[in-house]
């Protein structure tokens, strides 16, 4: 596959209301990133050209907010930058923007009279370094000057800066003719800015009250101050083309920046690094001969790789979503098959499995690892179950039981024993062999003022499906490892759980599954959680019941972007994920569409209805293609958002790029639609 290209022309860019909502994202393999809008206007506090992960994959700090350019032609100034200040834009450089492309890095092309400026942004892999590569073509007969002004910040990306309440505290030092260093006190961060041509001129200035419209819409802090240390000035001769780069490095110390900038001092260096970065992206899209090439798949494969980052323990970890999510256990193990197994990254899968396993506490896989303290938060019931499912998928793809035996087996047995006897958060196997659990432990865990928006304490449907799948997986592994007594124990529990599930969870009035068996009775809400029961390798339902279930979900919940979290006929349904945090949390799992559910739904649909050409075509055209082909040109270009509005037109919301929104539909596309099955699937599942 060749690198794909998304292009917006002058005509596209002239539609301001549409293009101001389109974003781009570049990542560096550490959890850091560069991101903004295609118009160059930062609309979020999370936007920036260098948002560094100072303690990978977390501690993300906005260091370089943006670079604003000016072209001086004789006595006339063309300002290419663009910033918003509460309904006022200054400058309005997007009016000079002729073209924007991503391939796979963003390139802005401006025209100012007879001068053309191109700016391409990329990051160095595994370094908190951003490079802005410029090409300035001067078609007139006199010298011109381009001035590039950095807007600098130094703040945790959830925060904003105010000169009154939390002003910048730093020292500034110019080094030579082409470099400036800034050393900030709080947070302790160093930023180095360097140009490969021209010179730096100190002109300190504070830019006050920048406005972030997306944050205002979300009810978040939306007014910010940025600091200008000065500007880089490059002269361009008549009838010539000047190429150069402005490079930003961030770290804990100036010395760390110097190490990261070693070998990045000339225009030739920046060109070489750009070609290396493009080549690494090309390899990602060329490495899957079993998967037929198509336009959108290249973007999905590139997006899938962006979530694999350096973990806190040095191994690989998974960023749940950009801009703000970190390493979440649930998201990691839902995503692992699509991000790592389908794409053949088995070494990375092993690192992730071992990495989380080290933090297993009382038989629970953490739902969240703090970016700095590494104290595990285990307040989830399903992260552990998805972890076990990932182990099953791993051996289906690799046949590598030795790794499981050596690295995971003892811990897996402890996990099973803890759940059978009981562990934290009220998690325990009940007398009916189903798994009981406390409140806000499933993926539908939003709360308002401490009260669960979707109360699911008791026995949630997908938890029972995952528990049964886990018991069968443990039985399978015990057989492989010649622990027959243990295998028989797991088998007996699984048999009883299946019988209990079928008798207690089936809703004969709606021909589907109850969502929760709670202390106060059953929850008859029509939600997508029941799809998990029909999609996993080991299902407790017969084909007829699965057929009823799949048909109801398709009829009530399916959209082109994924599955709604609640039927529109339910009085609690909320069709727009919009407004302040309270309003968003109330809609989060009460109608909001989640793309990741496309994966299990596609699997459930084809497993139930059969892999005929007609059914496979329907699954592709009806579920997979509308999501991937359409959404990569909406929201953040080349990837898929976390969530979408339940109501048409299904506006993209939440994180602009989400791991499981990519991973699960990708897995389903490869395994179910293309029928590229795991190599050892039959052998592994045939053990029991």
pLDDT in tens, 168-210: 889 999 999 999 999 999 889 999 999 999 999 999 999 999 9
Mean pLDDT value of segment 531-554:
97
What distances in angstroms separate CA 387 from CA 167, 393, 609, one per listed residue? 44, 10, 28
Mean pLDDT value of segment 323-346:
95
Question: What gap in Å lies between CA 400 and CA 228, rounded to an integer?
Answer: 55
Residue 172 burial class via C-beta count within 10 angstroms: exposed 0-12, middle 13-18, buried 19 and up: middle
Q: Which residue has the higher pLDDT, 630 or 351?
A: 351
Q: Which residue carries 């969240």 as its tokens? A: 368
First-to-last alpha carbon distance for the chain, in angstroms, is: 40
On whether the CB atoms of residues 557 and 525 are closer than 8 A, the answer is no
Query: Quick check: 387 pLDDT over 80?
Result: yes
Question: What gap in Å lies between CA 22 and CA 94, rounded to an integer?
Answer: 13
pLDDT of residue 372: 47
On whether the CB atoms of residues 333 and 383 are closer than 8 A, the answer is yes
Question: What gap in Å lies between CA 34 and CA 48, rounded to an integer?
Answer: 6
Q: Which two tokens stand for residue 423?
A: 């562990």
Query: Quick check: 369 pLDDT over 80?
Result: no
Q: Which two tokens stand for residue 492?
A: 């007996």
Q: Which residue has the higher pLDDT, 353 or 634?
A: 353
Query: Quick check: 122 pLDDT over 80?
Result: yes
Domain boundaries, the chain: 1-114+135-142+150-168+199-226, 253-286, 289-428, 430-436+455-538, 557-680
On whether the CB atoms of residues 134 and 270 are closer than 8 A, the answer is no
On whether the CB atoms of residues 196 and 244 are closer than 8 A, the answer is yes
Q: What is the distance, to the nearest Å, from the Cα of residue 533 to the centroid of all Cα atoms in its chain?
A: 25
- Residue-wise pLDDT for 468-513, tens only, equals 999 999 999 999 999 999 999 999 999 999 999 999 999 999 999 9
Q: Which two tokens stand for residue 113?
A: 């009279």
Partners of 189 in the β-ladder? 184
Which of 435, 410, 408, 438 lies closest to 424 in space, CA to CA?
438
Q: Which two tokens stand for residue 445?
A: 């865990």
Report the predicted TM-score, pTM, of the whole model to 2 decimal places. Answer: 0.95
Q: What is the 8-class DSSP label of residue 540?
A: S
Residue 288: pLDDT band (50, 70, 90) is low
What distances in angstroms separate CA 258 from CA 27, 32, 261, 271, one per listed residue? 21, 18, 5, 19
Residue 162 burial class via C-beta count within 10 angstroms: exposed 0-12, middle 13-18, buried 19 and up: middle
Tell me which H or E stretch contains 426. none
Question: What gap in Å lies between CA 537 and CA 544, rounded to an integer?
Answer: 17
Mean pLDDT value of segment 38-45:
98
Which of 175, 688, 231 lies closest to 472 in space, CA to CA?
688
On whether the CB atoms of residues 365 and 358 are closer than 8 A, the answer is no
pLDDT of residue 592: 98
Q: What is the 8-class DSSP label of residue 583?
A: H
Residue 286: pLDDT band (50, 70, 90) is confident
Which of 119, 92, 77, 90 lies closest to 207 in space, CA to CA?
90
């Amino acid at each position: 596959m060749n690198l794909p290209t998304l292009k917006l022309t002058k005509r596209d860019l002239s539609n301001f209301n549409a293009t101001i909502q389109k974003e781009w994202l570049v990542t560096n393999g550490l959890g850091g990133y560069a991101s903004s809008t295609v118009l160059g206007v930062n609309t979020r506090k999370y936007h920036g050209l260098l948002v560094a992960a100072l303690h990978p994959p977390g501690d993300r700090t906005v260091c370089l907010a943006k670079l604003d350019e000016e072209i001086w032609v004789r006595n006339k100034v063309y300002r290419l930058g663009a910033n918003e200040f509460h309904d006022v834009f200054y400058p309005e450089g997007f009016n000079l923007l002729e073209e924007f492309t991503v391939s796979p890095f963003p390139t802005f092309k401006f025209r100012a009279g007879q001068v053309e400026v191109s700016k391409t942004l990329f990051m160095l892999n595994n370094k908190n370094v951003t490079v802005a590569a410029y090409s300035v073509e001067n078609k007139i007969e006199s010298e011109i000057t381009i001035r590039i002004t950095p807007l600098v910040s130094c703040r945790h990306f959830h925060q904003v800066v105010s000169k009154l309440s939390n002003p910048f505290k730093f020292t500034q030092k110019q080094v030579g003719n082409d470099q400036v260093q800034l050393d900030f006190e709080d947070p302790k961060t160093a930023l180095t800015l360097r140009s490969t041509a021209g010179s730096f001129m100190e002109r300190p200035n504070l830019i006050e009250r920048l406005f972030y419209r997306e944050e205002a819409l979300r009810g978040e802090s939306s007014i910010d101050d940025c600091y200008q240390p000065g500007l880089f000035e490059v002269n361009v001769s008549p009838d010539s083309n000047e190429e150069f780069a402005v490079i930003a490095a961030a770290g804990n110390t100036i010395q760390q920046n110097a190490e990261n900038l070693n070998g990045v001092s000339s225009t030739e260096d920046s060109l070489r690094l750009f070609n290396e970065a493009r080549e690494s992206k090309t390899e990602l899209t060329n490495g899957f001969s079993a998967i037929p090439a198509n336009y959108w798949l290249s973007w999905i494969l590139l997006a899938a790789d962006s979530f694999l980052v350096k973990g806190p323990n040095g191994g690989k970890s998974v960023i749940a979503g950009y801009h703000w999510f970190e390493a979440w256990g649930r998201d990691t193990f839902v995503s692992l098959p699509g991000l790592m197994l389908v794409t053949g990254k088995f070494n990375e899968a092993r690192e992730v499995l071992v990495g989380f396993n080290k933090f297993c506490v009382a038989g629970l896989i953490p739902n969240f690892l703090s970016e700095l303290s590494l104290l595990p938060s285990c307040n989830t019931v399903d992260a552990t179950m998805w972890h076990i499912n990932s182990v099953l998928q791993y051996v289906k793809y690799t046949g590598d039981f030795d790794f499981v035996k050596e690295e995971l087996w003892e811990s897996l047995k402890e996990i099973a024993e803890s759940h059978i006897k009981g562990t934290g958060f009220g998690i325990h196997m009940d007398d009916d062999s189903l798994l009981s659990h406390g409140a806000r432990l499933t993926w539908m865990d939003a709360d308002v003022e401490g009260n669960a928006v979707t109360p699911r304490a008791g026995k949630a449907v997908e938890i029972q499906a995952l528990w049964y799948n886990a018991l069968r997986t443990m039985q399978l592994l015990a057989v492989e490892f010649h622990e027959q007594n243990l295998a028989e124990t797991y088998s007996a529990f699984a048999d009883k759980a299946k019988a209990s599930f079928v008798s207690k969870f089936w809703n004969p009035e709606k021909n589907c599954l109850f969502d929760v068996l709670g202390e106060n009775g059953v929850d008859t809400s029509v939600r997508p959680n029941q799809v998990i029961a029909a999609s996993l390798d080991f299902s407790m339902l017969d084909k007829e019941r699965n057929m009823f279930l799949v048909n109801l979900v398709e009829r009530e919940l399916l959209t082109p972007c994924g599955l709604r979290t609640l039927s529109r006929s339910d009085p609690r349904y909320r069709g727009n994920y919009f407004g302040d945090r309270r309003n968003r949390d109330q809609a989060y799992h009460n109608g909001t569409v989640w793309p990741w559910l496309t994966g299990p739904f596609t699997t459930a649909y084809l497993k139930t209805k059969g892999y005929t050409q007609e059914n496979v075509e329907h699954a592709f055209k009806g579920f997979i293609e509308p999501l991937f082909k359409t959404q990569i040109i909406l929201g953040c270009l080349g990837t898929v958002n976390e969530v979408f509005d339940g109501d048409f037109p299904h506006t993209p919301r939440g994180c602009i790029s989400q791991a499981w929104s990519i991973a699960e539909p990708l897995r389903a596309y490869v395994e179910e639609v293309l029928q590229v099955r795991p190599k050892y699937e039959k052998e592994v599942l045939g053990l029991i």
